[in-house]
Structure 1
């Protein structure tokens, strides 16, 4: 049973795509400024819906985890939502109390960690009474997490069980072997295990949090029905319960080494009794700030990112029936995320499917796409661009992407022009700069010994 406020919120959220879609191609002005505490704000004010979405990002992803404690970023983020400490007249709250408080407000608050960043997200109606309370509650979770030891003990048991189950699946085995082979000793290749989780306690979480979650390192992206002053008030309040940071806390964090390029091909065959063989082929790709990003995006759509219209699907599935689905993707981040080709096939067809996939990739890198392929890819990508901005939440993701990667504030306004400017020669040159088909990792899980 929903309260009236929750029903209003659900209706408003459901209508976001329809309302914003009509104006999605219009210019979206992004305001950017820095607070006295060093936090950076990025605001896209939209008056279409009475909703406010906020994302607060910190350089606290798993790339900053020690290898012996892989998984620390993810479990620390998860534990933030397990309770808050008592402060002054504010009582302590456990996970259940927090859940009830958010339900009463009809708002959502989440915490998560990826390879590069830890993110806090808040969604609320813009009604001042509701928004103010939601921001205050979010500030408590950001600034006063309890990290209860008894809860972590239970969570670790749950995670251990989940890891054991995942380790029985060929997709998990293939993904882990691929990451380790592509990334080597780089943190992008680290993976949480039962052993690394056993080395993590709540003291390690608190120390990490104190070191990395500080106001001067925050990037706040705000989308919704708020003014600049309201956005500044929201940002200030959200960070207000974090301990004040001194000059040492705001000094540059230690540099994380770059992903080393591969120097030779590697093929790893892992026997596994399964109906389908899982195959991954790839190597380190590129950083998100690379100027080749648009050429690589369009090129990958043609190669293997465009579903049924891609070359890989045409050659591997349509012409030879070697796999139901095959795709390629780049995963750029603060470091060179992996390029990969992925598919499943019958064990007796694995070698042929690998051979065909390698041939398609090598030809594409050598020759690039045709003009017809380029036109079709542009038409599809540009035609779908409004769907990237047709809700507050999607727009927030794009603003956070601009903030996190220090992209130009007019990035969304110039996206179509930059996509249209990509040529066949651009794609060919970009792929030849980034990919070396003769030096890739190939992981095959399910083949016979």
Structure 2
């Protein structure tokens, strides 16, 4: 009975969050795009500021500037050093978060919504994005830590495979360029300051607020954040990725398990084919133990403990990827099976039963993606940064339900071109 009551409460919370996910949008007077979800369920405010300042904007000869800028950002700002920031956040029960990926750099704040807690927390957040100090000692420490991390990653087969895979998929695009110990060594403190000045601007910012807040309060907070940033301009995107040449990249390594990746650049955020690809991929390799890849490669042949596939849409064409680990001696056989399964799926699509099961899972699990302020923040921030429709969450389940088997076949044929499929192995015989 206790478990049943817990489940009912969780479902009610999920439904409440889902019903409350109305996203309001405006542009602040200073030029930042703002997205707001009012949620009064808990006395909490979550704020996230996204800048188009990910690794795709790294200077050509200094890969790693974006990540190092973000890593150093909240370790001293304005009149506060990193110790003072940490102590003041602890005193008011607030926390900073965020990070940097290929497309964006994010700074997030979680605080209680009571004014005596909210205001000092927001003051710290504002100082961090507007006035980072990039103290020399902190910069050198973070730089050394980054270099040490990169050197350690160069010993791990999974990291080696990931870097080689992206380089093979994007040979002439910033997505394929990776930070190295050498590229980070060449970075100076002035590079971070210049990168911040160029990309951490109001015109290049998307501000998302979710929680116990009124629209008027949200407008005031967003403008306070944006007003202290340089006005700037939106970051210019590079030319779209060109299709890679299909082929095998084989990297030697003494590990006993081979790491295998297959894939290609496939789809950008906002592409109308996303939902057919999402639903289809559940059957192919996204549905865990019910997926075809898992059944054929793990269950029938025992080649791998786990195998998966997914689409990762980005600002420009993000990857479709199949991944697995297997014995060194079985790697080539596992690749042949994976390719065969993929080829059959691209040609024939899912069965009626597979399609129904995929829809049921994706629709049924969707409310759980919105059952907390943090999850609402994550979803609303993606919608804002990538310019997706404001009713994206409202339409999600209906769009999944509307997908047909023919939609899936057409979408896979357009975006999963087998003649462009790259394969990377590390530690395979």
SS of residue paired to 1:412: helix
Residues 66-113 of structure 1: per-residue CA shift (max 9 Å, x gap): 23111111110011111113xxxxxx2211111001101101112421
Aligned counterpart, 2:54: 61
Inter-partner Cα distance in structure 2 for 1:388 and 1:422: 20
SS of residue paired to 1:343: strand
SS of residue paired to 1:188: helix
Inter-partner Cα distance in structure 1 for 2:59 and 2:229: 24
SS of residue paired to 1:398: helix
Task: Please say if 1:133 is aligned against 2:114.
Answer: no
Aligned counterpart, 1:256: 238
Tell me whether 400-409 or 18-27 shows the greater mean CA deviation. Answer: 18-27
Structure 1 residue 253, shift from structure 2 partner: 3.4
Structure 1 residue 27, shift from structure 2 partner: 5.5
User: What are the within-5 Å matches in structure 2 for residues 29-48 of structure 1?
Assistant: 29-48=22-41
- Contact 1:74–1:113, Cα closer than 8 Å, also in 2: yes
Task: Please say if 1:341 is aligned against 2:322.
Answer: yes
Aligned counterpart, 2:14: 21
Aligned counterpart, 1:208: 195
- CA gap of 1:303–1:409, structure 2 versus 1, over 3 A, is same
Inter-partner Cα distance in structure 2 for 1:129 and 1:19: 31
Structure 1 residue 241, shift from structure 2 partner: 3.1
Structure 1 residue 242, shift from structure 2 partner: 2.6
SS of residue paired to 1:53: strand
- CA gap of 1:306–1:400, structure 2 versus 1, over 3 A, is same
Inter-partner Cα distance in structure 2 for 1:305 and 1:111: 26
State the TM-score, normalized to the length of structure 1. 0.91
- CA gap of 1:45–1:27, structure 2 versus 1, over 3 A, is closer
- Contact 1:27–1:413, Cα closer than 8 Å, also in 2: no
Aligned counterpart, 2:424: 443
Task: Please say if 1:167 is aligned against 2:167.
Answer: no
Aligned counterpart, 2:6: none
- CA gap of 1:56–1:295, structure 2 versus 1, over 3 A, is same
Aligned counterpart, 2:343: 362
Structure 1 residue 211, shift from structure 2 partner: 1.1
Aligned counterpart, 1:52: 45
User: What are the within-5 Å matches in structure 2 for residues 177-192 of structure 1?
Assistant: 177-192=164-179
- Contact 2:297–2:304, Cα closer than 8 Å, also in 1: yes
- Contact 1:136–1:237, Cα closer than 8 Å, also in 2: no
Structure 1 residue 18, shift from structure 2 partner: 7.4
- CA gap of 1:151–1:27, structure 2 versus 1, over 3 A, is closer
Inter-partner Cα distance in structure 2 for 1:255 and 1:240: 25
Aligned counterpart, 2:4: none
Residues 296-349 of structure 1: per-residue CA shift (max 9 Å, x gap): 111111100111010000100001111000001111100111111100000111
- Contact 1:79–1:147, Cα closer than 8 Å, also in 2: yes
- Segments of structure 1 that go 5 or more residues without pairing to the other structure are 1-15, 86-91
Match of 2:224 among 237, 245, 252: 237
- Contact 2:28–2:226, Cα closer than 8 Å, also in 1: no
Aligned counterpart, 2:411: 430
- Contact 2:31–2:226, Cα closer than 8 Å, also in 1: no
SS of residue paired to 1:221: strand
Aligned counterpart, 2:64: 71
- Segments of structure 2 that go 5 or more residues without pairing to the other structure are 1-8
Inter-partner Cα distance in structure 2 for 1:108 and 1:268: 42
Aligned counterpart, 1:89: none
Aligned counterpart, 1:98: 85
Structure 1 residue 61, shift from structure 2 partner: 1.1
SS of residue paired to 1:327: strand
Structure 1 residue 238, shift from structure 2 partner: 2.2
- Contact 1:52–1:225, Cα closer than 8 Å, also in 2: yes
SS of residue paired to 1:69: coil
SS of residue paired to 1:322: coil
- Contact 1:80–1:111, Cα closer than 8 Å, also in 2: no
Residues 374-425 of structure 1: per-residue CA shift (max 9 Å, x gap): 1001111111011100000000111111111211111111111111000000
SS of residue paired to 1:374: helix
What is the count of residue pairs matched by the alignment? 421
SS of residue paired to 2:390: coil
Structure 1 residue 255, shift from structure 2 partner: 3.0
- Contact 1:81–1:111, Cα closer than 8 Å, also in 2: no
- CA gap of 1:27–1:110, structure 2 versus 1, over 3 A, is closer
Aligned counterpart, 1:276: 257
- Contact 2:21–2:376, Cα closer than 8 Å, also in 1: no
- Contact 2:204–2:235, Cα closer than 8 Å, also in 1: no
Aligned counterpart, 2:5: none
